[in-house]
């Protein structure tokens, strides 16, 4: 009978045979050429050398290579040669990662360090490419190789398939691989992307001050010139807004931008959280931002708002003469026709005389 001939290609140490054949032995070098298989001669293969049925070392290697997944079934009759759960017909003979292994015998066809078995043949992002051949399976702009199969937020979905890997409510596509606070963790994995001590989940990616930077990346989310890391997410005035978003954190009717983080009265409470910035026992909400004596200091930080020589703390917010003007702003608090400045001066004079 005439020999049955089968074409096989040898290239770079890889044997590809088309047909249902079980290889038994081969001795001799693998050449970059094409040869013929004579099935009438004990299924031996010759490539530039006569077949002789030698089961030598090279023959054993070829026999091993014939069963890539070591499942006992020759690749030529195995519809899943690499045992990754994806059929050879689905994977094809292409080499998408350029590693010289055809997809159907490559355990990681797209070279993203995540096995084809784990990625599967599904198409998570609907881009027409199965995950096993897609370098960005969730289409978030971050490669699977970078995201890996870890589950950062513990939601049961590997990062390479998770639209929100850190579970902060902001998609990976929005956060990207940028490291805004230079802490060594990319924003899409960082639960505090701007490093202000307030979690991205709390800040969200809205832009409260309209400066073009979302809160989760804005170190001064309300634009009051006081860093969020200083203001924190506390709610001093109980109005339901965290201080970092509250334009008047202490509810004294004076903007944080005006009060600043300085501590005028040295009581350890910054002005924007202090309801009595100058410590005169008259609330800032009462004193306000007026400058009654025109000395360049607003009443809320002026220790003598009417400049009569008597401190606001001494005069208080009482209205001794009932004229509708509080003593600390009334130049003649008792309406006796003698201005307070004269009375204060006289009182000081009398005290000094008595002391001497």
Strand partners, 38: 5
**Residues written for the chain:** 356
Pair 275, 299: CB distance under 8 Å: no
**Nearest Cα to 144, choosing from 96, 110, 174?**
110
Cα-to-chain-centroid distance, residue 104: 36
- State the CB neighbour count (10 A cutoff) for residue 260: 16
Compute the average pLDDT of residues 184-194.
98
Q: What radius of gyration, in Å, describes the C-alpha atoms of the chain?
A: 41
For residue 66, what pLDDT band results from cuts at 50, 70 and 90?
A: confident
Lowest-pLDDT range, 53-67, 143-157, 249-263, 271-285? 53-67
Please tell me the predicted confidence (pLDDT) of residue 65: 52
pLDDT tens by residue, 257-309: 999 999 999 999 999 999 999 999 999 999 999 999 999 999 999 999 999 99
pLDDT tens by residue, 201-227: 999 999 999 999 999 999 999 999 999
- State the CB neighbour count (10 A cutoff) for residue 118: 15
Mean pLDDT, the chain, whole residue set: 85
Is the Cα dihedral 91, 94, 100, 102 positive or negative? Answer: positive
Please tell me the predicted confidence (pLDDT) of residue 347: 73
pLDDT tens by residue, 4-15: 444 444 443 444
Q: Read off the pTM.
A: 0.73
For residue 88, what pLDDT band results from cuts at 50, 70 and 90?
A: very high
Pair 330, 319: CB distance under 8 Å: yes
Strand partners, 14: 11
Pair 24, 58: CB distance under 8 Å: no
For residue 356, what pLDDT band results from cuts at 50, 70 and 90?
A: low
Pair 9, 95: CB distance under 8 Å: no
């Amino acid at each position: 009978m005439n020999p049955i001939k089968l074409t096989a290609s040898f290239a770079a140490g890889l044997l590809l045979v088309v047909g249902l054949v079980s290889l038994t032995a081969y001795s001799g070098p693998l050449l970059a050429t094409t040869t013929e298989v004579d099935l009438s001669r004990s299924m031996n293969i010759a490539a530039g050398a006569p077949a002789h049925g030698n089961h030598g070392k090279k023959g054993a290697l070829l026999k091993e290579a014939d069963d890539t997944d070591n499942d006992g079934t020759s690749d030529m009759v195995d519809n899943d040669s690499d045992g990754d759960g994806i059929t050879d017909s689905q994977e094809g003979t292409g080499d998408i990662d350029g590693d010289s292994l055809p997809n159907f015998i490559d355990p990681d066809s797209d070279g993203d360090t995540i096995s084809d078995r784990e990625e599967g043949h599904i198409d998570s992002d609907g881009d027409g490419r199965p995950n096993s051949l897609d370098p960005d399976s969730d289409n978030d702009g971050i490669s699977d190789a970078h995201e890996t199969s870890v589950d950062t937020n513990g939601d049961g979905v590997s990062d390479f398939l998770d639209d929100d890997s850190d579970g902060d409510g902001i998609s990976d596509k929005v956060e990207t691989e940028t490291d805004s606070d230079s802490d060594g963790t990319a924003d899409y994995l960082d639960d505090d992307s701007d490093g202000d001590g307030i979690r991205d989940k709390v800040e969200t990616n809205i832009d409260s001050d309209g400066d073009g930077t979302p809160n989760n990346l804005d170190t001064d989310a309300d634009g009051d010139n006081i860093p969020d890391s200083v203001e924190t997410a506390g709610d001093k005035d109980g109005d339901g807004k965290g201080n970092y978003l509250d334009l008047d954190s202490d509810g004294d009717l004076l903007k944080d931008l005006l009060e600043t983080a300085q501590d005028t009265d040295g009581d350890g409470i910054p002005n924007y959280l202090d309801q009595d910035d100058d410590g005169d026992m008259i609330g800032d909400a009462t004193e306000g931002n007026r400058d009654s004596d025109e000395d360049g200091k607003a009443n809320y930080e002026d220790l003598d708002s009417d400049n009569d020589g008597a401190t606001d703390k001494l005069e208080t917010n009482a209205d001794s003469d009932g004229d509708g003007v509080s003593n600390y702003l009334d130049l003649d608090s008792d309406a006796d026709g003698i201005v307070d400045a004269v009375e204060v001066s006289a009182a000081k004079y009398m005290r000094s005389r008595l002391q001497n």
